[in-house]
Structure 1
Amino acid sequence: MTIGRGVRAFGVTQRGVRFENDDAFRILSGPSGHVCVVADGMGGHGSGDVASGFTVSLTTDLLVAPGEGPAPDRIRAAIDAANRELYRRNITNRWLGCMGTTVALLYLPHEGQIAHVAHVGDSRVYLYREGALRRLTEDHTLRGYLQANPEVRAKHGDMKEDELPLDNILMRSLGTTETVEVDLTEVEVCPGDRFLLCTDGLWEQVGEPRIAELLQEGGDDVEGTCRRLLWGTQTPPGTNRTDERFGADDVALIVARGC
């Protein structure tokens, strides 16, 4: 869909083997710019879908509304607001099972050629430019922390790559602490750029080389590209469709580009 002033974006989500889909996305345009958000919720008693759905709704509503101040400050304030409310609900409603969520956000202001990227957790934002895929976010997982801090690994016998903890041990998420650190970055937007926001249900199952191939094959068709990527979680090349790893996790993804 065209979401305003030459920006096209499309998103899809699909439930994995669980009863509820804990992943969510939202695309919204308003007076200040365009916002794309994906989130991967967690928590007991079906509260993961509540956390992710609330987060994508609140952050997009706050960012497209008229506002003053630098874009990074507004983005951080929007994510902080979602975190505070989720944390408040966890404190006052213990039956929710300590719900939380990751978040990955792309903000494209109407003015200028700068894209703002923010995230907490292991949902990712990629930039595909001139045939190359570049990850704009770093996972807030125990594995990611150890990869980025070799001195810590050395204290534990300098663990090899295959000895590191699994990716899904989160070091940061919304709703689990009263305050949260948000990673923000900026990138100049060039003609033909495509942005991919996705939860780990995509990047973990499909892999970055295949993601790059599917973005290349999709060209300017953001909807078709989304559907190719989603289908990639079901039938990766050279694998048996009955392999239980594929399609096991919930997926949410958005592809966005300028016209």
Structure 2
Amino acid sequence: MTLKLRSAGTSDRGLIRSGNQDALHSGTWLVAVADGMGGMAAGDLASAIAIGAVAPLDVETPEDVLVAALQNGIQLATERIRQAVAEDPQRQGMGTTLTALLFARTGSCLALAHVGDSRAYLFRDGVLKQITRDDTFVQMLVDQGLITPDQAGSHPRRAVVTQALQGDEVSPTYATMVPRAGDRWLLCSDGLSNVVRADTLAEVLAGQPERDACARHLIDLALQAGGPDNITVVIADVLDEP
């Protein structure tokens, strides 16, 4: 038996925004979420560029080059965003978050790349753990002990991102992990994580086995909470299959 990744994803404009600047990839080997910023057209473009740059990684990849593959994808996204800004100066300041998970062809390892405030959560053995750390101003305050995590959720500057893909040099976070059968990953934009509590996320991940329905349920909860931002959700299950 070999571990396999099975995924489903969906996105919603929300109830306030006039368009959707999020983008996603939900594949067999790769899942990713990007949340664009910097004005409507530019935000759309930045997130689409990021997902377009990493989407070709959705192939069988040896475990020893997983991180290098993600690094190359992010470098390509950076170069394409830089080029897009050079082509139209009105795009100056556009950028995007990116959180991506790449599964090895052997099923023995996965790699995670992260920049910005989209998130990756791992639901394992009934426990939900946030794997990524937000690149945000309020996370810096939490790290310094100046505010609590609960206070961060309602802080007026919680949307201030300290790092994103904007065409210049950035320092993404990379990690590798050993997957287990039964693991469930949630990748999402902050349109979900800012308005739905972690304990509620865990309840839905535990109670809704079907991936598409689970993703839709989470988006519905964000909409019920006011849907102030675009909402993107990818659910990826690690399964033991022949």
What TM-score do the two structures reach when normalised by structure 2? Answer: 0.88
What TM-score do the two structures reach when normalised by structure 1? Answer: 0.83
Matched, 1:235 2:233: no
| Counterpart residue identity of residue 236, structure 2 | A
Higher RCO (CA-CA < 8 Å; seq separation 6+): 2
- TM-fit CA distance, 1:99: 1.2
Partner of 1:85: 80
Partner of 1:155: none
- TM-fit CA distance, 1:20: 1.5
Partner of 1:210: 200
| Counterpart residue identity of residue 128, structure 1 | F
Residues paired across the two proteins, number: 233
- TM-fit CA distance, 1:68: 9.7
Alpha-carbon contact 2:21-2:40 (below 8 Å) kept: no
In structure 2, the CA distance between the partners of 1:190 and 1:20, relative to structure 1 (3 Å rule), is same
Q: Deviations over 1:131-177 (max 9, x none)?
A: 11001100000111222234xxxxxxxx44348662211110001x5
Q: Which structure 1 segments of 5+ residues have no match?
A: 151-158, 237-245
- TM-fit CA distance, 1:192: 0.7
Report percent identity of matched pairs.
29
**1:60-209 → structure 2 map (5 Å cutoff):** 60-62=55-57, 64=59, 70-150=65-145, 159-161=146-148, 162=151, 166-175=157-166, 177-209=167-199
How many angstroms apart in 2 are the aligned matches of 1:119 and 1:196?
A: 14
Partner of 2:237: 257
Alpha-carbon contact 1:195-1:255 (below 8 Å) kept: yes
**1:217-228 → structure 2 map (5 Å cutoff):** 217-219=207-209, 221-228=210-217
How many angstroms apart in 1 are the aligned matches of 2:57 and 2:180?
A: 26
Alpha-carbon contact 1:63-1:75 (below 8 Å) kept: no
In structure 2, the CA distance between the partners of 1:85 and 1:69, relative to structure 1 (3 Å rule), is farther
Q: Which structure 2 segments of 5+ residues have no match?
A: none
In structure 2, the CA distance between the partners of 1:28 and 1:142, relative to structure 1 (3 Å rule), is same
How many angstroms apart in 1 are the aligned matches of 2:58 and 2:212?
A: 24
- TM-fit CA distance, 1:97: 4.3
Partner of 2:12: 14
- TM-fit CA distance, 1:21: 0.3
